[in-house]
Structure 1
Amino acid sequence: MSNPPLSAAIGAYITTISDILRSAVTRRRPWFELFDLSTISRPSSLSDATVRGRKNLSYFCANYATMLVTVLAFSLLSHPLSLLTLVSLIAAWLLLYIFRPPDQQLVIFNRTISHRDALWILIAFTFSVIFFTSVGSLLMSSTLIGFGIVCVHAVFRDPEDLFLDDTVLANSGLFSVVLNGSAAAPTVVSKV
């Protein structure tokens, strides 16, 4: 039987996630623009590489985030036991902490566990699963591989055909899609 506050919490959570994903999709640039081979060149110096990286990360932030998630997804799909472990861990957090009202007591083996105690148990369980199984190394290695691919592309793609305002460049970044999910997409103007 479904609890009305629980279904409202799940609905609000799903709405927030869909709003963030919708915002990310609207910020995504065309993939052919990202992989245009005529824009690939070696940076002349370290400062040029830094400027290129910042401009490309700001302009292609949603595309780069998609690339990171894709590398992570392929890595998890190639290791089904790690994927099953991670899904079980996420399900435990959702059922035992996020969707459970704070005033509702959890009873396990005739022992009452408060919301705060459940949080500490889940933190300890998450720590042990991530650091004492292969899940942590898999997540770390696939994230580093994805981040390496993104950084190499951002440094070697010449952003001369892109133009961003300094305020947009300062207020955006690779994770601005997630952090500022409800904000409007940055204004991008092409050079003539």
Structure 2
Amino acid sequence: MASPPTLPISQSSTGGGLSQTPIATPAFRAFLSRLSSSVRQGFAHRRPWYELVERNSIARPDNLSEAVFRIRRNLSYFRVNYITVIASVLAISLISHPFSLLLLLCLLAAWLFLYMFRQSDQPLVIFGRTFSDRETLGILVLSTIIVVFLTSIGSLLISGVLVGFAVVCAHGAFRIPEDLFLDEQEQVNPGFLSFLGGAAAPTVAAAAAARV
């Protein structure tokens, strides 16, 4: 008596948990590489820190117009240092609130791995339900609004940036800029974040390629 034919058995996940979503690893690595090179390029324009605290160049401005002139001139010269100061104040503010920092990192990771660097042909499945790209984007946007604006993270970020900006403005108003010499090429430079322009387009293109 012939045995019945063996039927193929397909293994599927029935646990209902989060599916293993393939990540576009090359695109993510390219993103990290370009980000790292952009940061290094930006810090290459950083001024020596001792120039910020040189005692002979610190004096109270005579009037408001002189203070504004000093701030504008010092912002052009110390822009990388000032951004570093603001970022440091913001980092200290977040580190002092570890739960908010953890929540913010989780939100960033969700954007990176669930949307930006997830291949579009690999659907997102959570608890047995498949989410389209539009639904995933809507959930991430809604989660961002809730986390940033309906929790203490939003006020924490704003207060950190404002404190750092106040420190920068105070230093810029009291730092005499007469001994600072800007190159003509740097005077035409549109700003601190201009060094990111060259890497921004390839990074966006890499993220878009990961979605295809």
Coarse TM-score class (shorter-chain normalised): 0.7 to 0.9
Higher helix share: 1
Aligned to 1:139: 157
In structure 2, C-alpha distance between the alignment counterparts of 1:181 and 1:47, rounded to whole Å: 37
**Alignment counterpart, residue 62 of structure 2, candidates 44, 50, 68:** 44
In structure 1, C-alpha distance between the alignment counterparts of 2:177 and 2:128, rounded to whole Å: 63
TM-score by length of 1: 0.84
Query: What does 1:24-103 correspond to in 2, within 5 Å?
Result: 24-103=42-121
Structure 1 alignment gaps of length 5 or more: 183-192
C-alpha contact (below 8 Å) 1:58/1:172 kept by paired residues:
no
Aligned to 2:134: 116
Structure 2 alignment gaps of length 5 or more: 1-19, 201-212
In structure 2, C-alpha distance between the alignment counterparts of 1:58 and 1:43, rounded to whole Å: 18
Aligned to 1:127: 145
In structure 1, C-alpha distance between the alignment counterparts of 2:185 and 2:32, rounded to whole Å: 32
- Deviation track 1:111-148 (CA, whole Å, cap 9, x = no partner) reads 22222221121011000011111111111111110111
144 and 73 in structure 1: CA distance in 2 versus 1, 3 angstrom threshold: same
Shift of 1:14: 0.7
TM-score by length of 2: 0.77
Shift of 1:67: 0.6
Give me the CA root mean square deviation: 2.3
Aligned to 1:172: 190
C-alpha contact (below 8 Å) 1:23/1:181 kept by paired residues:
no
> Partner amino acid for 1:51?
F
- Deviation track 1:34-63 (CA, whole Å, cap 9, x = no partner) reads 111211112233332222112111111111
- Deviation track 1:3-50 (CA, whole Å, cap 9, x = no partner) reads 5x7111111101111111111220111111111121111223333222
> Partner amino acid for 2:99?
L
177 and 75 in structure 1: CA distance in 2 versus 1, 3 angstrom threshold: farther
Aligned to 1:14: 32
Paired residues, number: 181
147 and 19 in structure 1: CA distance in 2 versus 1, 3 angstrom threshold: same
2:170 counterpart of 1:155: no
- Give the SS at the match of 2:44: helix
In structure 2, C-alpha distance between the alignment counterparts of 1:38 and 1:45, rounded to whole Å: 19
In structure 2, C-alpha distance between the alignment counterparts of 1:156 and 1:181, rounded to whole Å: 35
C-alpha contact (below 8 Å) 1:56/1:157 kept by paired residues:
yes
C-alpha contact (below 8 Å) 1:40/1:156 kept by paired residues:
yes
> Partner amino acid for 1:121?
I
**Identical counterparts, % of pairs:** 49
In structure 2, C-alpha distance between the alignment counterparts of 1:117 and 1:74, rounded to whole Å: 35
74 and 65 in structure 1: CA distance in 2 versus 1, 3 angstrom threshold: same
> Partner amino acid for 1:112?
T
